[in-house]
Chains A and B, each alone.
Chain A
Amino acid sequence: EAGVAQSPRYKIIEKRQSVAFWCNPISGHATLYWYQQILGQGPKLLIQFQNNGVVDDSQLPKDRFSAERLKGVDSTLKIQPAKLEDSAVYLCASSLVGGGQFFAKNIQYFGAGTRLSVL
């Protein structure tokens, strides 16, 4: 079974530029997550999709970050304009189900991430 695919693996940009990351979840997984991982810290959830809809974006800096999940499959995360503090690894994860009564069985599978360096 194919895992979560992310691209690109690495990206270097200058501050104030824009950047986009792409994620293809495991086939059939309804829930998709984007995490930000700053060096030396654990991943932090930015946004969670259930099919096409957003169920949690409380930690997404909405003035510069945006995400979409078209047709409930692939997703893109965009940063515009980028700041120095956005340098991090951006991880995408997917799970078969989201929350509710099945949340205990919600195993999240992660991609390898995109390492972003903002200069």
Chain B
Amino acid sequence: DAKTTQPPSMDCAEGRAANLPCNHSTISGNEYVYWYRQIHSQGPQYIIHGLKNNETNEMASLIITEDRKSSTLILPHATLRDTAVYYCIVRVRGTDSWGKLQFGAGTQVVVTP
């Protein structure tokens, strides 16, 4: 199973872009990269996912390197409400293809005024 490596914490100034890195050097060709976040006292919230192309939605952008060994989640204009733990997850495809999510420790992002 492909594992991910994220920095334990990072700070970001309100209104600036937040760039969250993730390494997944052992990712397989059919494994997707997912990002979730967890605001304090809430359940995780889906942000975005991708396979090889860059993706963008109303919450964030996902940039995946050409060799797929790393990716970056970009929050274009961070707000105080973006303070959360961000999880980068490689979607495990098991023998039964149920694709469970395996969460690591994530990156604690603190957005400061």
Contact = CB atoms under 8 A, between A and B. Distances in A.
A and B from one complex: yes
Interface of A: 4, 40-45, 48, 50, 55-56, 91, 93, 98-101, 103-104, 106-113
Contacts of A113: 42-43
A100 B42 CA distance: 29
A99 B98 contact: yes
B105 interface: yes
Interface residues of B, number: 24
A5 B97 CA distance: 27
B42 to A, nearest CB: 6
Interface of B: 32, 41-46, 49, 51, 87, 91, 93-94, 96-106
7 contacts: A45-B101, A48-B98, A93-B43, A103-B98, A104-B99, A110-B43, A112-B42
Given A55-B96, A55-B98, A4 B105 contact: no
Contacts of A106: 99
Given A104-B32, A108-B46, A42 B98 contact: no
B99 A103 contact: yes
A104 to B, nearest CB: 5
Contacts, number: 63
A45 B100 contact: yes
Nearest to B99: A103
B105 A40 contact: yes
Contacts of B46: 107-109
- Which of A4, A50, A101, A110 counts the most B-chain CB atoms under 10 A from its CB? A110
Contacts of B49: 104
A59 B107 CA distance: 24
Given A42-B103, A45-B101, A91 B43 contact: yes
Contact of A4 (B43, B51, B93, B101): B43
Nearest to A9: B41
Nearest to A35: B103
B45 A103 contact: no
A48 B51 contact: no
